[in-house]
Structure formats: structure tokens, C-alpha cells
Amino acid sequence: MKVTVEIGPLWTKMRSPIYPIVTALTGVSVSFAPLFLYWSGKGQFYPRYTRIIVPLCFALIFFVPFFYIRLGGAVARELRKRPD
């Protein structure tokens, strides 16, 4: 099965003001949060603050992709509603 999605010029020009923030959080959740979590588990990354760092890393790893899934679902829903 082949699916083609056409996006109009209006959708390609829209840039949200929170786009840089979400992009930065995505980079952190994909790369640095797992690394900091690993270092915290070994006791190498601020061992005194482990109770704060570990839940924060888990929250970043879990909630940032959750935000993208919800945002992608909303965009897909709007694209399906548009009349041809």
C-alpha cells in the first residue's frame, strides 16, 4: 500500500515560536538524558543530587516524545479533516 500526503504552502511556512524549545528538549531527551542517567547510576554525575537528576532524566526521556506524538496526532487529524 502506498500513501501520499500533500501539504499546502500554508503548512510549510508556519513556524511555532516554541519550535526551538521543543527541538532543544528533543535533543536532550534523545542524547544527554540517557547519558546522565547512566552516569548517575554509576555514581559519577553529581552523586549528591541523584534523587533529583534521575527522575528529571526519566521525565525528559518520557514526556518529550509524548509531546511530539500528541502534536503529530493533532496535525494528522487536521490534515484528514481538510476538504480536497
Q: Which three cell numbers stand for residue 55?
A: 527522575
Q: pLDDT tens digits for the chain (84 residues)?
A: 666 666 666 555 556 676 777 777 777 777 888 888 888 888 888 888 888 888 888 888 888 777 777 777 777 777 777 665
Cα–Cα separations (whole angstroms), residue 84 to 4, 53, 65, 67: 14, 49, 31, 29
* Beta strands, E only, 6-72: none
Residues 6+ apart with CB under 8 A from 26: 64, 65, 68
Residue 33: count of CB within 10 angstroms of its CB: 21
Write down the pLDDT at residue 68: 73
Domain ranges of the chain: 21-81
